[in-house]
Amino acid sequence: MPYLFTSESVSEGHPDKVADQISDALIDNFLAFDPNSKVACETLVTTGQVVLAGEVKSRAYLDVQEIARGVIRKIGYTKSEYMFEANSCGVLSAIHEQSADINQGVERQKKEEQGAGDQGMMFGYATNETEDYMPLALDLAHKLLQELAALRREDKQIKYLRPDAKSQVTLEYDDNNVPVRIDAIVISTQHDDFDTETKMLAKIKKDIIEILVPRIKTKYKKYAKLFNDKIKYHINPTGKFVIGGPHGDTGLTGRKIIVDTYGGKGAHGGGAFSGKDPSKVDRSAAYATRHIAKNLVAAGLCDEVLVQVSYAIGVAQPMGIYVNTYGTAKVDMTDGEIAKIVEGIFDMRPYYIEQRLKLRTPIYSETAAYGHMGRKPVTVDKEFRSPDGKVIKKKVELFTWEKLDYVPKVKKAFKLK
């Protein structure tokens, strides 16, 4: 029986994502000046106000206010009519030193014995639905908003867009769990004021269908066949959306964990990512399990897989690794037997995760919008400035957990051709 599945995404101007991006910019700056920094910072954004809170152990001294304003400026909140603007908003910092009780459970004399920064379970997922080994509905939802943001910045074809936006894509799957068509697309985008609401709704719907969607079909040709003339479009279904961003809705770090991961496919352990240094396994182990899952599918072991790992705070060795191939495994093994071999390929102690994925570098700002998973691993040059004028330049690898560097090891371990 065919069925429908839906995933959503939110833009970089969504208030929760504004908060995530500020928190991750702080992480990057701390790690740039002190790679051993321990940071857990939360951000709240609302009308004209940013509140920073959290715990830090670091040798770095930062101008956290200017870092926050720089993020807000880059997102596009640069006009007073938005009621949240980079240069004029208040920025209150309540960041303090990390608890010594937590720190003693993480740091060890031998680095490789580093304990997990917290207890909990983390999940990684991969599917061969897309070239990025991501669920298709989420992939499309992200790409719609990335193109919408590009149109906003170009300010040529569509001139009324503001930073806040959300998308949602519903796919129809056949009896073999293969996506066959797009059933519905929902897009709500913040916009400048119009003379009349009727004119506004007609204009926005026309531009989304005739400008945005063709760009997606042209740029991502592999998805073009899924578009059809029967798609149900819901464009700004509530009507007017002038008041948005942190003025329209308070934003908090860590409230978009499903957008950040797999759009509702697989599972989620509940821990957010942004604002946490890699000693927090909520973040590092979630990246590591994605790395495992993607390499297993790419090696041809299975078509779809969920990987879980769990930890006790202060303990290096994970409590266990769980694998679910949803009956798609290409080897004559149980999922439990597969998990045992996976344990031998990937060392999941926190120190080794940090080393393998190069996580103690300033790579996190780029993760904080449009998903932490399914992104392209690339090397970039970054520059950071401290309040005393010191400049740090670093070449860093982004999205290392998306690399397929373990495919040969997986094939060898499972005797795959």
Binned at pLDDT 50, 70 and 90, residue 264 comes out as very high
In this predicted structure, what is the pLDDT of residue 104? 56
The answer to whether residue 220 scores a pLDDT higher than 90 is: no
Backbone angles phi, psi at 371, to 5 degrees: 95, 140
Say what the pTM is: 0.96
β-pair partners for 333: none
Average pLDDT over the chain, rounded to whole?
95
Check whether 241 is labelled as a binding-site residue: yes
Residue 304 β-bridge partners: 127
pLDDT at 105 over 60: no
- Tell me: is residue 273 an annotated ligand-binding position: no
Confidence category of residue 106, pLDDT binned at 50, 70, 90: low
Q: Do domains 3-9+136-244 and 120-128+261-381+394-413 have the same CATH topology?
A: yes
The structural architecture, per CATH, of the domain 3-9+136-244 is 2-Layer Sandwich (3.30)
Alpha carbon distance 30, 58 (integer Å): 7
Bridge partners (DSSP) of residue 7 are 169
Tell whether residue 156 is among the known ligand binding residues.
no
Q: CATH assignment of 120-128+261-381+394-413, given 3.30.2030.30, 3.40.30.10, 1.10.4160.10, 3.30.300.10?
A: 3.30.300.10
Residue 14 assigned ligand-binding role: yes
Strand 161-173 vs strand 3-10: parallel, antiparallel, or unpaired? antiparallel
111 carries a ligand binding annotation? no
Q: Taking a C-beta distance cutoff of 8 angstroms, is the pair 319, 120 a contact?
A: no
Q: Is 276 one of the annotated binding-site residues?
A: yes
The Cα 294–Cα 2 span in angstroms is 26
Structure tokens at 392: 């740090």
411 annotated ligand binder: no
42 is annotated as contributing to ligand binding: yes
Domains of the chain, residue spans: 3-9+136-244, 120-128+261-381+394-413
Determine if residue 79 is labeled as part of a ligand binding site.
Answer: no
- 280 annotated to a ligand binding site: yes
Geometric angle at alpha carbon 314, from 310 and 317, rounded to 5°: 50
Sheet bearing 49-57, strands edge to edge? 90-97, 49-57, 38-46, 251-252
| 166 in a labelled binding site | yes
Which of the four pLDDT bands, split at 50, 70 and 90, describes residue 99?
Answer: low
Do the beta carbons of residue 404 and residue 298 sit within 8 Å?
A: yes
249 annotated among ligand-binding-site residues: yes
Q: What are phi and psi of 413, to 5 degrees?
A: -65, -35
Looking at residue 364, what is its pLDDT? 98
pLDDT digit string, tens, across residues 364-417: 999 999 999 999 999 999 999 999 999 999 999 999 999 999 999 999 999 998
Q: What is the dihedral of CA 314, 320, 321, 322, to 10 degrees?
A: -130
Q: String of b and e for 174-203 (b: at least 16 CB within 10 Å)?
A: eeeeebebbbbbbbbbbbeebeeeeebbee
* Residue 347 annotated as lining a ligand binding site: no
String of b and e for 311-340 (b: at least 16 CB within 10 Å)?
A: beebebebeebbbbbeeebeeebebeebbe
Q: What is the mean pLDDT of residues 249-261?
A: 98
19 marked among binding-site residues: no
How many other CB atoms are found less than 10 A from the CB of residue 354?
20
The string of DSSP letters for 217-264 reads HHH-GGGGGG--TTPEEEESTTS---S-HHHHS-EETT--HHHHTTTT
Establish whether 192 is an annotated binding residue: no
Q: Let me know: does 407 contact 416? Beta carbons within 8 Å.
A: no
Cα–Cα distance between 125 and 325 in angstroms, integer? 10
DSSP 365: G
